[in-house]
Every structure is written in C-alpha cells, then in structure tokens.
Structure 1
Amino acid sequence: MERSKIQALYDATHALFSQEGLPTFQQIHYLKNLLDKVEATDVGIDEYGLCDSPMSDSTVDSSNGLLCGQGFSEITYIHIHECDDFSMGVFCLPAGKVFPLHDHPGMTVLSKLLYGSAHVKAYDWITLDSTGCQTIGLAGRVVDEVMNAPHEPTVLFPRSGGNIHSFTALTPCAILDVLSPPYSEDFGRPSTYYSDIPIPSLHGYSILEEKPIPRDLVVQGAPYLGPSIVTVGDYNFGQIAFHN
C-alpha cells in the first residue's frame, strides 16, 4: 500500500532528526521537497469549506469528513505528532488574525503555507543581551513580504533564516510546521514573544525586546482528521534520503 504524504513526511523527519549529528544540506532539501508535496486535504482540511465556529460540531464537513478551512474564527492549532526529537502540526488563521513575533530557540523549522495569503516578517539576531530578566537586542530583518499559496516551503535554523517571525493572515490560511527539537520549557526551549522597534537610521534593523505573551493571543485546538500515522521507525534515512 502506498504511503500517505504525511506518513512519508513523518518517516523522513523521524529518521533525519533522530540520527546523531547535524543534518546535511541534502537531507534538509529532501525533507523540504516532501513537505512541498503536502496539501491541505493531506492533513484533513478542506481549504474551501465554509463552516461555523471551530468549537462547534459543524467545523467538520459531514460530506467529506474534513475540517472547514474557511470556518475558523480564532487561530487554531491542529496537533499531528510530537516526540522528543520533533513536532508536526498545522496553524489555521482566519483573515485579519496575527500570530505575533516569536522565536524558535535552538530549532530547525520547516514550514509550508498550505493555502491562503499571509504577510510574514522575520528577523535574525545580530547582538542580544539575555543576562537580565528580559532579552533585548539588535536584529536584522530577513523577510518582510506577502506569501501566497502555493509557495515553496521555508527553512529556518537556530541562527539564520528568520528564527524570530510573525504571521498576519490576509485571507484564511494554514501553515504546516515541522519543528526540531520541539518547544520545551523543561529543556530551555520556551516560546518567547517580542516587540520590534525599527531603527530609522539603519534600514532593515530593529531593536527586539522580550514581552509577555500577548493577552489577546487566543489559540484553540482542533482534531487532526488526516491519514493516521504509523509512528514506528521502519525506515532508515540513509536508504530514503536521496530517492526522488
């Protein structure tokens, strides 16, 4: 039986991030290509579905058993998988909602805009001071653009690629994320939020200052309705990494 796209993505992600040592460029590129093939229906979402609030039973379209992509009234997270090495999930944003500026400490992150349009702003640290009660520093802007689906997946690393970023949904949209390692308070990988203060005399640079979790940030949960994933490591990345 042919593997689902999300199963193939899980298999490669598990093999890559559970191995010892840092991933190679070729391995990241292979994973990025797998992510690029995933569509909304592959994770249980009908991007054109019109439903009511995601907290009601009508969020699921009874005709196809998928979540209604146009029916979310709040930012919604669909949890697919999490283990010690990585996590997979989808953020669904209704038009006008903002996921504020936040970081991914020590993480490699691959993201795919599954549908819709979003404005993305992203920074990397130039210098920072985290010795006090708040982190503050100089950051360089690496992304400030509108992304429209279909858009190739993006990759960010612990110190490059836009590790600190925000999303503003211009239309209803969904973003599939693969994070390695996952967020963890216990292991010193919390999600930290920032305000950015542009420096007029230095185009593209801003002062980022840590701030509390925004009070108006509401993230609801929705069930994963895509194909089930067999979470057994039956594949060796060395055998699958360079197959096209």
Structure 2
Amino acid sequence: MEAAVVERTRDRVGHVKRVGYVKKGIAKRKCCRRVRRRALQELFLSCLDVFKGPGTVPPTQDVLKLRRILDNMKPKDVGLTKEMPFFRPTNAVNGDSRVRYTTIYQCDNFSLCIFFIPATGVIPLHNHPGMTVFSKLLLGKMHIKAYDWAEPVNFYGSVASSSQSRLAKLKADRVFTAPCDTSVLYPTTGGNIHAFTAITPCAVLDVLGPPYSKEDGRDCSYYKDYPYTASNGDTTVKSEEADSYGWLEEIEIPENSQMDRIEYLGPPVIEPTC
C-alpha cells in the first residue's frame, strides 16, 4: 500500500528523529552472517527471485516462501525496537497523526517499504491494481478493513460499469496485534482494497510486487465505503449476508493520505554481484 500513496507524498527526509530511527546495533557482523543469513537479506534475495514483473502473480509455493520469511521477521531485522520514542505509549508525536514511510529498496518488479502509523493515524481505503502485496505488522495494534469487488473484474481491478458505487465483498474487519501472521492480497482477491487505522503506534513492513506506477496503469485509487442496502443499485444479496457486503464509491485523494518520507537507517540490503 502504499501507492501513489507513496508517490504523492511530500518528501520530507528531515523527520527521522520524530520516529526515533537510529543506526545503533546494525553494524555488519561477518561471523554471524556466515552462520545465519540476515532475515532482511533473505527476504530481499527471495523477492528478486519471486517477482517477475508487471502482469504476473507469484505461484503458490513462492507466496508460501515469502510468507514464511516474513512471519519469522522481527522488528530488529529492520532496525526497530519498541523502546524507540515513536512506539512509547506516552508518545503522541506532538499530537500529529500523519503517517511516515521509508523505502528499503525499490525496482521495477517490487519494493520493500515500512509505514509508521501513529496512534489514531489512518491509511485510507485504497486499492492495489495488478499487484500482489505482503503486509507484516512488526509493532503495534491496528484495525484493518479490506474488500474485494463482488462483480467480475480484470487483472487491474477494472470493470465495465458506469455506476458511481460498486458492490464489494468484505474480506476483513478486525484488529491485529503484533506479532501476527503476514497478510497477502492479490490483484483481484485477498482484500485488494484495504484501510489501516492504528490503535497504538504501528510499524508495517510491506512488500509490493510490482510497485505502484501511474505510467504502467497501476495508479492508486481511493474509496469511501457505505453499508449495503437493497436500494443502492440493481445488485441484491441475501438479507443474512448483507453485513458481509458494502458499496464503495471512488473519491478524490483524501487529505489524510499524505505521508512524510523519512530516511531508512536499518540494515542495508546487498544486491548480488552475479
């Protein structure tokens, strides 16, 4: 997530201290690296192998491989600790609910990003056209609401419909607390349209394949959801299933979608030389 969400942000790199990201404890240790590959490096090398570019979806065995790596990752693997000022219960970041993000790595096929969402902060309801996205909640507690379109769509989530509102199937509407399993969404399934609301300060590691690209037809769209009612169009569902559906209306870029970019100061990833 994390789309034009990212592309449309204000690039303010001078806010590192507001999260408390530090370089302490991330020096290279050759002896340890010989014994056990660093988790982030393992994730990076696996992504190089798994993501084949736009128009593709990783096969099941590759999805399971990335999920296994992410499920085992800890905050320290990207240079974070719960003792950092941002994650302290008494810290409200001066009452600012603005989201920050940092990019670990990005290429045409995938990107690795971390989102820092302060308590009450929101990443509004948005989609991921033609993308497979892995989200790992590293720290904190957040509410996730996610939908998939109820009507048939193409690979990029488009549909031949002139209606302002479209029926969507609710896929998730609950609270997640770190540590928890990695969530995965696909171009047309898995909750491709989702929103995050932080209950406590959160850090979310996202793997997006491929990244957002307006030029390649993967621009980010935002939505407002409404409860399902029989009067909202021609489509009807059984009354007992009404709570599992909603109407989504595409909206202009919300003001609370703006984010601040901060410098990544965690362990680096090392590109292979051959």
Q: TM-score, normalised by structure 2?
A: 0.73
Match of 2:149 in 1: 125
Distance 1:222 1:133, change over 3 A: farther
Question: 1:168-222 CA distances to partner (integer Å, 9 max, x unpaired)?
Answer: 0000011100011110000000111000011145221111111011123331111
Distance 1:78 1:125, change over 3 A: same
Identity across the alignment (%)? 41
The answer on 1:27 being equivalent to 2:51 is no
Secondary structure class of the residue paired with 2:150: strand
Matched-pair contact (CA < 8 Å) for 2:122–2:256: no
| Alignment counterpart, residue 75 of structure 2, candidates 40, 64, 72 | 40
| Alignment counterpart, residue 225 of structure 2, candidates 187, 196, 203 | 196
The CA RMSD measured in Å over matched residues stands at 2.2
Match of 2:253 in 1: 213
The answer on 1:184 being equivalent to 2:213 is yes
Aligned partners of 2:268, 2:121: CA distance in 1, in Å?
A: 29
Distance 1:31 1:175, change over 3 A: same
Aligned partners of 1:233, 1:104: CA distance in 2, in Å?
A: 32
Distance 1:192 1:110, change over 3 A: same
Structure showing greater relative contact order (alpha-carbon pairs closer than 8 Å, 6 or more residues apart)? 2
Unaligned runs of 5+ in 1: 51-67, 235-244
Query: Where in structure 2 are the equivalents of 1:129-148 lying within 5 Å?
Result: 136-148=165-177
Question: 1:221-240 CA distances to partner (integer Å, 9 max, x unpaired)?
Answer: 11111111112375xxxxxx
| Alignment counterpart, residue 100 of structure 1, candidates 101, 124, 132 | 124
Match of 1:4 in 2: 38
| Alignment counterpart, residue 101 of structure 2, candidates 38, 54, 77 | 77
Aligned partners of 1:163, 1:110: CA distance in 2, in Å?
A: 11
Distance 1:133 1:185, change over 3 A: farther
Aligned partners of 1:134, 1:223: CA distance in 2, in Å?
A: 42
Aligned partners of 1:22, 1:168: CA distance in 2, in Å?
A: 27
Match of 2:195 in 1: 166
Aligned partners of 2:253, 2:181: CA distance in 1, in Å?
A: 30
Aligned partners of 1:196, 1:142: CA distance in 2, in Å?
A: 13
Aligned partners of 2:56, 2:160: CA distance in 1, in Å?
A: 29
Unaligned runs of 5+ in 2: 1-29, 230-238
Distance 1:133 1:77, change over 3 A: farther
Runs of 4+ in 1 over 6 A off after TM superposition: 132-135
Question: Which residue type is aligned with residue 33 of structure 1?
Answer: R
Question: 1:96-138 CA distances to partner (integer Å, 9 max, x unpaired)?
Answer: 1111000000111111000110000000001277557886411
Aligned partners of 2:142, 2:190: CA distance in 1, in Å?
A: 18
Matched-pair contact (CA < 8 Å) for 1:90–1:177: yes
Aligned partners of 1:209, 1:194: CA distance in 2, in Å?
A: 5
Aligned partners of 1:208, 1:150: CA distance in 2, in Å?
A: 30
Match of 1:54 in 2: none
Q: TM-score, normalised by structure 1?
A: 0.82
The answer on 1:89 being equivalent to 2:129 is no
Aligned partners of 1:36, 1:80: CA distance in 2, in Å?
A: 18
Aligned partners of 1:21, 1:78: CA distance in 2, in Å?
A: 25
Question: Which residue type is aligned with residue 260 of structure 2?
Answer: Q
For these two proteins, the number of residue pairs brought into alignment is 217
